[in-house]
Amino acid sequence: MPTVAELAALVGGEHSTDDGSVTITGPAALAEARAGEISFFGHRRYAADLKTTKAAAVLVPRDFCGETPAVCIRVEDPSAAFTAVTHRFVPAPVAPPPGVHPSATVDSSAKIAPGACVQAQAVIEAGVTVGEGSVIGAGCYLGKNATVGEGCLLHAHTVVREGCILGDRVILHCGVVVGSDGFGYDTKDGCHHKIPQIGCVIIGPDVEIGANTTIDRARFGRTVIGEGTKIDNLVMIAHNVVIGRHCIICAQVGISGSTQIGDYVVIAGQAGLVGHIKVGDGAIIGAQSGLSNDLEPKAIVVGSPPRPIGEWKRGIVRLDRLGQLYDRVKKLEQRAG
């Protein structure tokens, strides 16, 4: 087991000179830590837990001046340092052996790299390409002419429909559907007539997509997810949406068709975006916001309709004071007869 001194060196941290020999057995949360474990203090809301933690050591900011019974390791970013420390205790994942499971159904025209793994009950249609080192999990479906890059991981029961393209090192969690039909209908004579959805989905390298998220194929052209973007569970992305590089999209977000999202955008949980709008680079959309207009780069908005975050906070304060204001007005009216 590593010592405090060894872990401090691992994350470029500093500790008091007489504490370095303490042995650390594993990582844990502040409130749940037991003797010998290490935790981190990354937000003031956990100050009470910090004072009572049973952890042997805690990663804290360099300017930390609070109280804790644990040995402090001072670092620039406690959360990032804790992630690095956690890796020290996690065994390397077991890589599945390459090859095609006997129960998988693979069309003879599919091109499966020698180092790829196709697990039980997977179905791979004609013209599919699977890159070196990729893992196609149990029960996955790859439609005709789909492409999976190198080093991808498709967990069990994911779907990549016909003609869709995954870049290198893409991760799809269980239940993800890439390339389902876009939601498009023409209404004539009282009936809804389906509009053919003939485009595809292109997902850039190093994208990770959470469980049960759906990404629709384009009506024509492409639906695009940019390099390095991370998408949470239960997100719905409609046809012809274009999402830039290194975005963060949290759970239960819904993005309507043909919306364009720039690079490094953050969309918090349960936010909804109407179609055909543009969101500038670096913008942040708060939880449960309903965005119906274009958003400038680096703007931060909250609410429905969304407002700049400072204005939204002031509005919440004023709303909380409405009861007091009502009482004051009532008293003034009584005095005035």
* 3 state SS of 31: coil
Distance CA 141, CA 104 (A): 10
Q: DSSP secondary structure string, 172-210? A: E-TT-EEEEPP--EEEETTEEEEPP---EEEE-TT-EE-
Any residues with CB less than 8 A from the CB of 246 and at least 6 apart, and which? Answer: 226, 227, 228, 229, 263, 264
Rounded Cα distance, 79 and 97, in Å: 34
273 contacts 294 by C-beta, under 8 angstroms = no
Does residue 239 carry a catalytic annotation? yes
CA torsion sign for 287, 290, 296, 297 is: positive
Q: Which of 43, 101, 239, 276 is catalytic?
A: 239
> How many other C-beta atoms lie within 10 A of the C-beta of residue 161?
23
Helix axes 309-320, 322-335, angle to 10 degrees: 50
Other Cβ atoms less than 10 A from the Cβ of 88: the count is 16
First to last CA, the chain: 80
Report the catalytic residues. 239
